[in-house]
Structure 1
Amino acid sequence: MTSVDKPTQDAPQQHESRAVTEAALFEAFGGVRGMVETVLPGLLFVSIFTITKDLHWSAIAALGVSLLMVAVRLVMKDTMKHAFSGVFGVAFGVIFAMFTGNAKDFYLPGMLYTLGLALAYIITTLAGVPLIGLILGPVFKENLSWRTRNPGRKKAYAKASWAWGLILLAKCAILFPLYWWADTTQLGWVLVTLKIPPFLLAVWLTWVFLAKAPAPIDVFAEMEAEERAEKAAAEAAADGGRHRRGA
């Protein structure tokens, strides 16, 4: 095999690996619909508050649209994890803002969650168990096999987790000063603007790192193969026993 032939033969495998990675990222992070569910409640809150300056109606509208999106997923029998996470996030924001009477506090739980998530990505990577690997491992059907059996993939997960952590920290570095210095509408519009671009950048970098990484080890397929082998061995032993008794 020449050096010219090898890339040609590897190209289909690389294409398949990238397609699998894209599908897994789409499933893990919710795709376009998940992004809409993430952005819409906050967009509705800041839009209504900008016009009316009424905390109660803005909060009710944001919570209402979150519940509506959950209801739509229930009717369509779709996965609920992204919609439910959105509802809980909005509900915490509403409760916090209503309790303090400060409309800016609608955004504070989400900002604190973002900061905590950024630190989680960084700390878990430093500890040798990058968070993005814990999230995507089950999606790729590799679970934690990448930790000990696939070092190239562990390295890719570490790079991706660093990317997520640093991007989210940069986002926090913009939002927290605005929480103290800006008014509710200014903070709200900046926050809505920063919902999608940093997320897309982190997902794209994750795709870049994983597309170049070794393929995941399908531990579920391995377990199924072991079960089939054990079953075949047991059947062979039973057949051998019957033949000996027959003899």
Structure 2
Amino acid sequence: MSRDVTPEVTPTDRAAAETVEQLIRHRLSHALGGWRGSIETALPTVAFIALWSWRQDLKLAVWSAVGVALVLAVARLVQRSSLQHVLGAVFATAIAAFFAMRSGKAEDAFLPGMLLSGAYLVGTVVSIFARWPVVGFLVGAGDPRAAEDPFAWRRDPGMVRVCSRLTWVLVALYAVRLSIQVPLYLAAQVEALGVAKIVLGWPLWIAGVAVMGWLLMRGSTPQEVLAPDTEPASDDA
């Protein structure tokens, strides 16, 4: 089997990393968003729950959430900063508003998020067993060469193994989220659903990233890049 014994990393990567775990930490720091994007994602939900708890008026609660999302988008435009996170919040708020207004039930505003979490849960599990772990794509996004070779990370068997372990953390996050939200949804606990959505959003991600960081700090997998036409050998994730 033909192998390239020199890891395919950029000079910046090479200076920052000697092991797969170090390289992943370096690249994820560039690929993940910051606090502002997380706050922008949570604020429409806060507005929805605040207005619903105060007035028990579904239309008012929905339009307040949509209004907050649009204000955040306008603020980004005025500042000429990235719309990546706020557009996600606008889109998610619009879908949630559609579901709630169509059914007339406030709890249905949270149904799209739960369906999405369910899809992500299935997708992350499938990605692990297909040896295309989701975390690998985040790592690849942090590679300066991503535009030319977005799947270069798959030629490192160690990278695939470590990213598979990290993707199991995502599986656990989605499972926890659904195990809490689904019973609340079935019981029509709107306020509790709002609190759960916020707590199970950024704070849960922080916990997940902390677990990933712990796994990365413990590991010391050597980098070993295969030739471009070689598929990584199958082994346990």
Q: Which moved further from structure 2: 42-51 or 193-202?
A: 193-202
AA in 2 matched with 1:89: A
Task: Give the unaligned 5+ runs of structure 2.
Answer: 1-14, 226-237
Alignment partner, residue 133 of structure 2: 130
AA in 2 matched with 1:146: W
Q: 1:19 to 1:66 in 2, by over 3 A?
A: farther
More RCO (CA 8 Å, sep 6+): 2
- Residue of 98, 119, 128 corresponding to 2:101: 98
- Residue of 60, 63, 75 corresponding to 2:63: 60
Partner Cα separation in structure 1 for residue 30 and residue 74 of structure 2: 20
AA in 2 matched with 1:25: L
Alignment partner, residue 222 of structure 1: none
Per-residue deviation, residues 161-195 of structure 1 (Å, max 9, x unmatched): 11101221121011111100142122222222222
- Residue of 136, 140, 144 corresponding to 2:151: 144
- TM-score norm. by structure 2 comes to 0.76
CA contact (8 A) 2:107 2:193 kept: yes
Deviation at 1:14, TM superposition (A): 5.4
Partner Cα separation in structure 1 for residue 33 and residue 128 of structure 2: 23
Name the SS of the counterpart of 1:137 in structure 2.
Answer: helix
AA in 1 matched with 2:165: K
- Residue of 21, 31, 34 corresponding to 1:28: 31
AA in 2 matched with 1:161: T
CA contact (8 A) 1:41 1:90 kept: yes
- Residue of 197, 203, 211 corresponding to 1:197: 203
Alignment partner, residue 160 of structure 1: 166
CA contact (8 A) 2:19 2:222 kept: no
Per-residue deviation, residues 186-218 of structure 1 (Å, max 9, x unmatched): 22222222222221122223334456455698x
- Residue of 59, 69, 72 corresponding to 2:75: 72
**Paired residues, number:** 205
AA in 1 matched with 2:65: A
AA in 1 matched with 2:203: P
Partner Cα separation in structure 2 for residue 80 and residue 101 of structure 1: 31
Identity over aligned residues, as a percent?
27
Name the SS of the counterpart of 1:107 in structure 2.
Answer: helix
Alignment partner, residue 89 of structure 2: 86
Alignment partner, residue 9 of structure 2: none
Name the SS of the counterpart of 2:141 in structure 1.
Answer: coil
AA in 2 matched with 1:163: V
* More helix by percentage: 1
Partner Cα separation in structure 2 for residue 33 and residue 21 of structure 1: 23
Partner Cα separation in structure 2 for residue 63 and residue 20 of structure 1: 40
Task: Give the unaligned 5+ runs of structure 1.
Answer: 1-11, 218-247
Deviation at 1:77, TM superposition (A): 2.0
Partner Cα separation in structure 1 for residue 165 and residue 117 of structure 2: 19
Give the alignment's Cα RMSD to 1 decimal.
2.6
AA in 2 matched with 1:145: A
Q: 1:102 to 1:27 in 2, by over 3 A?
A: farther
Per-residue deviation, residues 80-125 of structure 1 (Å, max 9, x unmatched): 2211111111100001100110011111101111121122111111
Partner Cα separation in structure 2 for residue 92 and residue 130 of structure 1: 28
